[in-house]
Chain A
Amino acid sequence: MKLKDGIKETNVVVKSGADMILPFALVFGLYVILFGTVSPGGGFQGGVMVASACLLLYLGYGYKATANMINREVLEVNEALGAIIYVLLAACGLFMGARFCQNVFTDIGKVGDLISAGTVTFMSFAVGYKVLTGVGFLLLLMLYLLGDDDEEEEVEEE
């Protein structure tokens, strides 16, 4: 993890900064996903925010720690899972005798509540999950390409 001889990429300031900001970034991204249907934001934007918050992990701890913490294969499987959940929720309208993507569960909660818009809310969550895992996978893939050769060999051996 050396940029030049004697200069290390990770130092204590970057590490503690990542420690401090990461929880807030994750919580704010999840907030944007959860409240996407009642406030500005939405699944897509929140998912990208959560995924890019994980870059802080790389900045603070390097590629090896990030790869140990997050499994890339699991992320890719979960992305496909999110897409399938979205399509199933959209097909609920067809099963209940309405349009594709139409909201059919209209009696959940009061209007303006967090979970009040039936399939609209849950489709937003599904898109958020899908984008979170997908963009996270993409970022980890690029970091894997950028990583040092020595570190990769260690990771591959595990």
Chain B
Amino acid sequence: MKRFIALFSVLVLLAAGVTAMRYDYENVAITYDGSDTKVENLYNDPYKYTTSDADGVASIIVKTNLDKTHAANNVAAIVFDYRGFDTIGESFILLAAIAGSFTILRVSKKGKEDDHEA
């Protein structure tokens, strides 16, 4: 019974994911101005692709960044303002990694000392 419930919930999640992907593919434009980026064309002839202006979210950020954050560097604005939560997670991953390696290395050090005594 447990196994059946687990399988059923996984199938429901899969169906929801497939439906969402299909809806996105059919109804949502890939870029904000509606003009799709054709990856195959870009691969065949990279020089045809216009790089004079940003599109999509990049365009919004580039154009409104100075008014919103007063940071001259767009990358710094994204890392510490738009996606500040991401940076918090990053630095706490570092904290967790250091605490974990401190624990493991201290234990192995203790074991080493015991070996020498024995």
Chain A interface residues (CB < 8 Å from chain B): 36-40, 42, 44, 76, 79-80, 82-83, 86-87, 90, 100-103, 106, 111-112, 116-120, 123-124, 127, 130-131, 134-135, 137-138, 141-142, 144-145, 149
Contacts and interface: CB of A to CB of B under 8 A. Distances in A.
Interface string B63-81: 0001011111101110111
Given A117-B69, A124-B76, A145 B105 contact: yes
A112 B71 CA distance: 7
A112 B81 contact: no
Contacts of B43: none
B70 A138 contact: no
B90 interface: yes
Interface of B: 66, 68-73, 75-77, 79-85, 87-88, 90-92, 94-95, 97-98, 101-102, 105, 108-109, 116
B66 A149 contact: no
Contact of B70 (A83, A87, A117, A145): A117
12 contacts: A39-B73, A101-B83, A111-B66, A111-B71, A112-B72, A119-B80, A120-B71, A120-B81, A123-B84, A134-B95, A137-B102, A149-B116
B91 A83 contact: yes
Contact of B109 (A79, A119, A120, A145): A145
B71 A37 contact: yes
Nearest to A37: B76
A101 B116 CA distance: 51
